[in-house]
A and B are shown apart, each in its own frame.
Chain A
Amino acid sequence: MSALLKSELRKLIYLRANWLLLIWSGLFAALGTVAPILVLNSENGPGRGVFSGTETPEGINAVFANAAGGYLFALILGILIMTNEYRHGTAVGTFLVTPKRSTVLVAKLIAASLAGLVIQLFSFVLQ
């Protein structure tokens, strides 16, 4: 099981696309934090009449709602972890090494959870 988990983590780490996802999640979260603050607090911004600035609780809520956007990329990564196996036909090799498919799924689940955690932490730090 631990060997299988290592193998799954390797699949995540080796793929450049995954690192891009991580970077995007951070940028997205940073943008999601900065943009609402600028818009809500701008003098003539559309917000003044309709929304409140960041001095009000509503304004703060709006900022936090946008800032959490990095999770979207964890979602995408989660989908890719599973679908990549079928897209590239690597599922065959994976199942030949580990014929018990439930074990493979558990290893993938753990690897994906760890990756999701990393993405959330990273995007949290950047915002």
Chain B
Amino acid sequence: MSGVKIEFKDLSKRYKDVLAVSNFSAQVQSGRVTGFLGPNGAGKSTALRCLLGLVNPTGGSAEIYGGSYSQLQDPIHKVGAVLDSRGFHPGLTAKQNLKIMASASEIDFSRIDEVLDLVDLASAANKRTKGFSLGMKQRLSLAIAMLGDPEILILDEPANGLDPLGIVWLREFLQKLAGEGRTILVSSHQLAEMQNTVSDVLIINKGVLVAQGTIKEICKGRSLEEAFLELTLRKSA
């Protein structure tokens, strides 16, 4: 099945006086890596949280598999998400955190060792996560997201705070997952890094869609950074 499995339809979200996302409409093509780019505070995280049913939109909708996230049966078998590196209990080991998530959705525990291997955390499986470095926490978040072997991955700033080694690891990890035909929506403001990783681009600024297309269409021979700066500055001027 190809086509579109993620779609923002006139999505708006207002927090008191702040319009975080404003009539945002965009589509994410299946089987591709889409970079969701924008400055800090552009509304990326809010849009992703609407998509995952964590916040309710003020207007419009964010649809996944043609409906809202909360309508999905067994969502973590379809969608894996990494939202920040705080999604687990520091007093528990990596494995215990994974067991809690696995048992909630009746995933076999043998899958836990698989995902720990996948993110190179097998050696730290029985260590408490409070001693984890930021890179290890990010990888554990990715392991949790991969538990259900989902077709769609949604990653919010996964490269934040990673050292150069971690960034290289993440790039190769994402490319491997993309090679398996998964749909990946990854938000970031690290443009140079994204240039090598993504095939499609969504640019959002001040809650409004600025541009969408393949990376070739957006860049037109420029670097992603140049294109991004021109697009976001022009629209906001």
Q: Which residues of A are interface residues toward B (Cβ below 8 A)?
A: 3-4, 6-7, 10-11, 14-17, 84, 88-90, 92-100
Contact = CB atoms under 8 A, between A and B. Distances in A.
Given A14-B96, A84-B89, A96-B54, 5 more contacts: A10-B103, A15-B91, A88-B88, A93-B144, A98-B104
Nearest to B93: A14
B216 interface: no
Contacts of B83: 92
Nearest to B106: A3
Given A14-B96, A15-B92, A97-B76, A92 B104 contact: no
26 contacts: A3-B104, A3-B105, A4-B104, A6-B103, A7-B103, A10-B96, A11-B89, A14-B99, A15-B89, A15-B92, A89-B86, A89-B88, A90-B87, A90-B89, A92-B83, A93-B101, A93-B144, A95-B54, A96-B75, A97-B75, A97-B76, A97-B104, A97-B105, A98-B104, A99-B70, A99-B72
Given A10-B96, A14-B96, A15-B92, A92 B87 contact: yes
Nearest to A93: B87
A107 to B, nearest CB: 9
Interface of B: 52-54, 69-70, 72, 75-76, 79, 81, 83-84, 86-92, 96, 99-101, 103-106, 144
Contacts of A6: 103-104
A8 B144 CA distance: 17
A38 B89 CA distance: 43
B91 A16 contact: yes
A15 B86 CA distance: 17
Contacts of B54: 92, 95-96
A99 B100 contact: no
* List of 10 A-B pairs having minimum Cβ-Cβ separation, nearest first: A89-B86, A7-B104, A99-B70, A7-B103, A14-B96, A97-B104, A93-B87, A3-B106, A6-B103, A10-B100
Contacts of A100: 70
B144 to A, nearest CB: 6
Contacts of A16: 91
B101 A88 contact: no
Nearest to B52: A96
Contacts of B103: 3, 6-7, 10
Most chain B beta-carbon neighbours within 10 Å: one of A6, A14, A94: A14
A98 B75 CA distance: 8
A95 B69 CA distance: 11
A96 B79 CA distance: 9
Nearest to B128: A16
